[in-house]
């Protein structure tokens, strides 16, 4: 089982994820229309790129925008979850060894304490993200089963990973479950709301170009995100 999960399944999951992401990324930008979107994307590339970069990096900084600052609770939960979700797959010691063996790419490894901290932060943050959905009327009204499903499959690799890490019950069972959940997540990325892992950059870039080109950027005004 372990061989299958780390062998052919791994390659399928990775392939689906990467090809799917690439295809959707290309489709997104091909589907932009200067006239329908009313943004002269190609006529003012420098202003566009400037706006796009600002629009992305401002939102990647914890408390870097008005949005994050005015809503500190979700900002903490959001970054608590996403920092681990982005760093651990690449830089956890077990993962770096695996990736080195499979892909020949070697990433630096996170210190074990830091990695544990990030994993716990992600699980705890995810709990609060679920809680928000249940408690806040403005979030509850829009929340669908799919939203819970996405949260579930996003948190499953962390939960199973921690169970394996602390060897609660059968280590190899949890390890296999962890790998399975991780691969499931990879496959789900291009086809679900998880597509935001790459479409976030596309969508933010688009709005950034809008502000950079049409809504003030070319007047020399920097949007105060």
Partner 1 sequence: MPEGKFCNKKPVDTAEGITQLLSDTSGNTYYKEMKELTVDSDLLWKTIQNTCKSRIRTWLEICAHCGMCAESCFLYQVNGRDPKQVPAYKIQSTLGKIIQKKGKVDNAFMRHAMEVAWSQCTCCNRCGMYCPHGIDTGIMFGYLRGLLYQQGFVPWELKIGAGMHRVYNAQMDVTDADFVDTFEWMVEEYEEDYPGLTVPVDKEGADIMYTVNAREVKHYPEDLAEAAVLFHMAGENWTVPSKGWEETSLAMFAGDWAACKIQVESVYAAMERLKPKRMIGTECGHAHRATVIEGPYWAGRKDGLPPVESIHYVEWLAEALNTGKLKIDPSKRIKELVTLQDSCNYIRNQGLKQATRDIMKHIVEPGYFVEMSPNKEHNYCCGGGGGFNGIGLYRKQRNIALIKKRDQILATGAKLVLAPCHNCWDAIRDLEEEYDIGIRWSFLKPVIIKMLDIPDHLKPEE
**108 touches partner 1 by CB under 8 A:** no
| Residue with smaller CB distance to partner 1, 110 or 199 | 199
| Cβ 171 to partner 1 shortest distance, Å | 34
Rounded Cα distance, 215 and 104, in Å? 45
Place of tokens 């992305």: 56
| Residue with smaller CB distance to partner 1, 3 or 138 | 138
DSSP 218: G
- 26 close to 203: Cβ distance less than 8 angstroms: no
- 24 close to 195: Cβ distance less than 8 angstroms: yes
| Residue with smaller CB distance to partner 1, 90 or 215 | 215
Out of 9, 91, 174, 225, which residue is the one contacting partner 1 (CB under 8 A)? 225
Q: Which residues contact 47 (CB under 8 A, 6 or more apart)?
A: 212, 213, 217, 218
| Residue with smaller CB distance to partner 1, 15 or 67 | 67
Site for partner 1 in 10-69 (CB under 8 A): 27-40, 43-44, 55, 59, 66-67
DSSP 221: P
| Residue with smaller CB distance to partner 1, 10 or 28 | 28
| Cβ 20 to partner 1 shortest distance, Å | 14
Rounded Cα distance, 80 and 167, in Å? 24
Burial code (b: 16+ CB inside 10 Å, e: under 16) for 175-197 equals: bbbbbbbbbebbbbbbeeebbeb
**204 touches partner 1 by CB under 8 A:** yes
DSSP 155: H
Rounded Cα distance, 200 and 74, in Å? 17
Site for partner 1 in 109-148 (CB under 8 A): 132-133, 136-144, 147
- Segment contacting partner 1 by CB under 8 A, of 11-19, 120-128, 161-169, 213-221: 213-221
Structure tokens at 216: 């003030």
**Which residues form the interface with partner 1 (CB under 8 A)?**
27-40, 43-44, 55, 59, 66-67, 70-71, 74, 78, 132-133, 136-144, 147, 193, 195-196, 199-200, 202-204, 206-208, 210-211, 213-217, 219-225
């Amino acid at each position: 089982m372990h061989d299958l999960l780390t062998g052919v399944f791994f390659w399928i999951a990775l392939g689906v994820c990467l090809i799917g992401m690439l295809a959707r990324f290309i489709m997104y930008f091909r589907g932009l229309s200067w006239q329908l979107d009313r943004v002269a994307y190609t006529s003012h590339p420098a202003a566009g790129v400037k706006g796009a970069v600002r629009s992305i990096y401002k939102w990647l900084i914890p408390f870097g925008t008005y949005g994050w600052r005015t809503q500190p609770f979700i900002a903490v939960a959001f970054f608590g979850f996403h920092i681990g979700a982005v760093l651990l797959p690449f830089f956890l010691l077990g993962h770096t060894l695996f990736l080195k063996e499979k892909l020949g790419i070697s990433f630096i490894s996170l210190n074990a304490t830091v990695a544990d901290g990030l994993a716990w932060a992600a699980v705890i943050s995810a709990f609060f993200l679920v809680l928000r959905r249940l408690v806040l009327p403005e979030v509850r009204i829009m929340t669908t089963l799919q939203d819970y499903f996405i949260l579930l499959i996003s948190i499953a690799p962390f939960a199973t990973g921690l169970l394996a890490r602390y060897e609660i019950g059968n280590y190899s069972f949890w390890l296999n479950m962890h790998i399975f959940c991780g691969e499931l997540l990879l496959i789900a990325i291009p086809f679900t709301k998880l597509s935001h892992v790459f479409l976030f950059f596309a969508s933010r870039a688009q709005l950034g170009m809008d502000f950079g080109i049409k809504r003030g950027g070319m007047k020399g005004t920097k949007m105060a995100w």
